Chain A
Amino acid sequence: FLGAGGGNDIQWCFSQVKGAVDDDVAEADIISTVEFNHSGELLATGDKGGRVVIFQQEQENKTQSHSRGEYNVYSTFQSHEPEFDYLKSLEIEEKINKIRWLPQKNAAQFLLSTNDKTIKLWKISERDKRPEGYNLKEEDGRYRDPTTVTTLRVPVFRPMDLMVEASPRRIFANAHTYHINSISINSDYETYLSADDLRINLWHLEITDRSFNIVDIKPANMEELTEVITAAEFHPNSCSTFVYSSSKGTIRLCDMRASALCDRHSKLFEEPEDPSNRSFFSEIISSISDVKFSHSGRYMMTRDYLSVKIWDLNMENRPVETYQVHEYLRSKLCSLYENDCIFDKFECCWNGSDRQVEFFSLCTSDLSTIVMTGSYNNFFRMFDRNTKRDITLEASRENNKPRTVLKPRKVCASGKRKKDEISVDSLDFNKKILHTAWHPKENIIAVATTNNLYIFQDKMN
């Protein structure tokens, strides 16, 4: 019964790696976001240079039943350009902070991409035929002399090489004073929210000249500012419900039906601090870097610097589960503060609703059973909620052979280092995995290192 046990029963194998082999990383190539579309056929990445690269999964080859389709480049386009804010004398980075796909309604695909200030709706469409046989034009476009036209014909479509075109259909600008950290599409598929450090706005996908401010935590006196918004997401099923997390480790759930401006939360999720663990860095490490609802919407997951927490929406006073990502870093917080690593924003994601897991979930309460998140040294971690087992894997070119099962890694926190273990002091803090994504339907994961995208799949027997 493959996959029923979750993370550790899945044997992850290297499938592909995309990106430059060089150790010298070009700044523009740094991957800043990764997202599968709703079917999993497309995988989008955004980078610091403002580009979006979309990969498409090959149709499964019936004869090659032992591997799933490979992902190949489908479309590349420049989503955002650097801008200059003349009023503040500051550059606005073109880095893509988030990409979110819309569900597919027709032949074209749509996605939202955002940098710090502007959100854009992109249409990605295929063109694989073109009209030929015009009466007034030659094939090369030159106009014919009308006097030479003796017969009339109806132009017909003829096949051509596939061309994928990306065009910006909407530009949602000038609504954010601070840096956008999140976008989330509502379950009504008509509206979406965008969140910056202090405000959250609600947009209609068709309307670009207007947005509604639904959360505003900017104090009247900026000197009193002690807390910012770090992430926000709509509930997967309830179109009037959304959550936002803060730099103080709290999550607020808001209902848009309660009032126009959701400054008063409906629920406040916060775990009381452990007084024995208190230090000057307590607040910083409690800052939530990502929040994700489970598939059913009954749970949500938050990522802070050292852990992943699962919350039951019906219980505000503490998480139902906590998983330690890299607890061995707790004694190194000062150094991590000094080199700014303590401010790294790790994301987290749930497993997809794998068909086998779906069956198993009849016995459990939720399809969301496995949590994945990144760490340093190009390590990433998975936690299985059912078996309570966890695994550490590494995204590296050394495990390059397809269908080679990845070897689990272990970090030695203190004491004698066993063979194959890595000591904390040998970890490379420049190699961080901040962005990971899980295919919505299959056991395929995309893991972004600084400038490479790794694709792993489970070993199919």
Chain B
Amino acid sequence: LKRKCFDGEEDIEGTLAGIKAIPSYNLQRQSLLDMSLVKLQLCHMLVEPNLCRSVLIANTVRQIQEEMTQDGTWQMINTQSTGQASLDRLVSTDILCRSSRDQVEGKHVPGYGTFNKDFESDQAQDSSETMSTASSVQAPRNLQSNMWEMENPQENKGNFQKSLDQIFETLENKSPNSVEDLFSEVDNSYYDLDTMLTGMMSNTKMGHCDSLETFSSPTNTASNSNCKSDLNDLDHIVEILVES
């Protein structure tokens, strides 16, 4: 679980100084949502997944959805998402770990429905966050090569992309009320809701799970470092830069 320490953080901050810090919290919250949905999808076809874990993740997804609905950011996400959305947006969510007390010196509480513009400066000050997946203030070293990577998505993402897209399609619906919408693509005729909630997804094939070895599986806690998401983080930073 050792994290690489990215160099040149200070230069990067300078580069991004012009970019609004506001997406930072939303970005990370979105990332947490994406990660949670991936976790719900990933299931061992052989052994029944842990119900406690599934319920806790589903509750987390609900919390995020509720907050995003209150925020009004739910609609914003709909317009933003693209075909490459999901996997690439797994940036650091360390800011979400901080209690509201830690977030800001100015005591502006980012609880539900609000967030703070000073997130980025806080992040810079917090030097002990080397355990995070990646810091969202990191910029690609070589813009050019990363854009190229964007145009050539990794092959093994292909299959998984499709099933995640199905999930995100439901998210893009105008009124995504519940976590259950996520399962609407699935053919439940064969399984009852019991099985649904325990993670049996009929559209998830073993191949999809294989391609995601960088993500932890429900029963295997002896996992991983996230080289893949580093690359994806860079892609996403590029996306932000390009869009701005």
A-B interaction: yes
Q: A: which residues have CB within 8 A of B? A: 85, 88, 90-93, 116, 177-179, 197-198, 221-223, 225-228, 230, 247, 275-281, 283-284, 287, 330-335, 337-341, 343-344, 413-414, 424-430, 432
If A279-B96, A332-B97 touch, whether A223 touches B47 (CB-CB below 8 Å) is no
- The listed residue (B35, B99, B180) touching A337 by CB distance below 8 A is B35
CA distance A429 to B130 in the complex (A): 15
Give the chain B neighbours of A91 by CB distance below 8 A. 46-48
Q: Which of A91, A92, A177 has its CB near the most chain B CB atoms (within 10 A)?
A: A91
Whether the pair A280, B96 counts as a contact (CB closer than 8 A) is yes
If A278-B111, A280-B63, A334-B132 touch, whether A340 touches B97 (CB-CB below 8 Å) is no
Q: How large is the interface on B (under 10, 10 to 19, 20 to 34, 35 or more residues)?
A: 35 or more
Whether the pair A178, B131 counts as a contact (CB closer than 8 A) is no
Give the chain B neighbours of A331 by CB distance below 8 A. 94, 97-98, 102, 128-129
If A276-B100, A283-B60, A343-B221 touch, whether A335 touches B55 (CB-CB below 8 Å) is no
Cross-chain pairs A/B with CB under 8 angstroms, 10 sampled: A91-B46, A228-B52, A279-B99, A280-B96, A281-B60, A281-B96, A283-B59, A338-B35, A340-B39, A340-B221
CA distance A90 to B199 in the complex (A): 12
CA distance A179 to B46 in the complex (A): 15
CA distance A283 to B1 in the complex (A): 24
**Closest A residue, CB atoms, query B63:** A280
Mark out the residues of chain B between 207 and 235 whose CB falls within 8 Å of any chain A CB in the assembled complex. 215-218, 220-224, 226
- The listed residue (A88, A225, A227, A277) touching B48 by CB distance below 8 A is A88
Does residue B22 face the partner (Cβ distance < 8 Å to A)? no
Give the chain B neighbours of A227 by CB distance below 8 A. 55
Q: Contact flags (1/0) for B23-54 with A, using CB distance below 8 Å? A: 00000010010010001000000111011110
**Closest B residue, CB atoms, query A284:** B56
Whether the pair A225, B63 counts as a contact (CB closer than 8 A) is no
Whether the pair A247, B56 counts as a contact (CB closer than 8 A) is yes
Given A275-B100, A338-B35, 17 more contacts at CB 8 Å? A91-B47, A228-B51, A228-B55, A279-B97, A280-B29, A280-B32, A283-B63, A330-B99, A334-B132, A335-B133, A338-B133, A338-B215, A338-B216, A339-B216, A339-B223, A340-B39, A343-B50
What is the distance, in angstroms, from B183's C-beta to the closest C-beta of chain A?
Answer: 9
Does residue B195 face the partner (Cβ distance < 8 Å to A)? yes
Whether the pair A339, B1 counts as a contact (CB closer than 8 A) is yes
**Closest A residue, CB atoms, query B64:** A280
Whether the pair B48, A90 counts as a contact (CB closer than 8 A) is yes
- The listed residue (A116, A226, A344) touching B221 by CB distance below 8 A is A344
Whether the pair A287, B51 counts as a contact (CB closer than 8 A) is no
Give the chain B neighbours of A92 by CB distance below 8 A. 47-48
Does residue B78 face the partner (Cβ distance < 8 Å to A)? no
CA distance A221 to B178 in the complex (A): 14
CA distance A428 to B46 in the complex (A): 28
Does residue B2 face the partner (Cβ distance < 8 Å to A)? yes
Q: B: which residues have CB within 8 A of A? A: 1-3, 29, 32, 35, 39, 46-48, 50-53, 55-56, 58-60, 63-64, 92-94, 96-102, 111, 128-133, 178-180, 191-197, 200, 215-218, 220-224, 226
What is the distance, in angstroms, from A158's C-beta to the closest C-beta of chain B?
Answer: 49
Whether the pair B197, A223 counts as a contact (CB closer than 8 A) is yes
If A334-B92, A425-B3 touch, whether A287 touches B128 (CB-CB below 8 Å) is no
Q: Which of A221, A225, A276, A335 has its CB near the most chain B CB atoms (within 10 A)?
A: A335
Whether the pair B56, A222 counts as a contact (CB closer than 8 A) is no
Whether the pair B223, A340 counts as a contact (CB closer than 8 A) is yes
- The listed residue (B47, B102, B217) touching A90 by CB distance below 8 A is B47
Give the chain B neighbours of A178 by CB distance below 8 A. 51
What is the distance, in angstroms, from A48's C-beta to the closest C-beta of chain B?
Answer: 10
Whether the pair A222, B94 counts as a contact (CB closer than 8 A) is no
**Closest A residue, CB atoms, query B36:** A337
What is the distance, in angstroms, from B83's C-beta to the closest C-beta of chain A?
Answer: 24
What is the distance, in angstroms, from B65's C-beta to the closest C-beta of chain A?
Answer: 11
Give the chain A neighbours of B132 by CB distance below 8 A. 334-335
What is the distance, in angstroms, from A30's C-beta to the closest C-beta of chain B?
Answer: 9
Whether the pair B94, A334 counts as a contact (CB closer than 8 A) is yes
Whether the pair B216, A222 counts as a contact (CB closer than 8 A) is no
Give the chain B neighbours of A340 by CB distance below 8 A. 39, 53, 216-218, 220-221, 223
Whether the pair A222, B196 counts as a contact (CB closer than 8 A) is yes
Whether the pair B55, A225 counts as a contact (CB closer than 8 A) is yes
**Closest B residue, CB atoms, query A423:** B128
If A222-B196, A228-B55 touch, whether A334 touches B48 (CB-CB below 8 Å) is no
Give the chain A neighbours of B133 by CB distance below 8 A. 334-335, 338
- The listed residue (B55, B128, B191) touching A414 by CB distance below 8 A is B128
**Closest A residue, CB atoms, query B100:** A276
If A197-B52, A223-B178 touch, whether A428 touches B1 (CB-CB below 8 Å) is yes
**Closest B residue, CB atoms, query A343:** B53
Give the chain A neighbours of B192 by CB distance below 8 A. 222
**8 closest residue pairs by CB, A with B:** A340-B216, A334-B93, A222-B193, A333-B97, A197-B51, A277-B99, A276-B101, A334-B97
Give the chain A neighbours of B111 by CB distance below 8 A. 278
What is the distance, in angstroms, from A425's C-beta to the closest C-beta of chain B?
Answer: 5
If A280-B60, A338-B35, A424-B128 touch, whether A223 touches B180 (CB-CB below 8 Å) is yes
CA distance A280 to B67 in the complex (A): 10
CA distance A335 to B216 in the complex (A): 11
Whether the pair B56, A343 counts as a contact (CB closer than 8 A) is yes
Give the chain A neighbours of B48 by CB distance below 8 A. 85, 88, 90-92, 116, 179
Give the chain B neighbours of A432 by CB distance below 8 A. 221
Give the chain A neighbours of B94 by CB distance below 8 A. 331-332, 334-335
Give the chain B neighbours of A222 by CB distance below 8 A. 192-194, 196-197
- The listed residue (B50, B92, B96, B221) touching A341 by CB distance below 8 A is B221
**Closest B residue, CB atoms, query A82:** B47
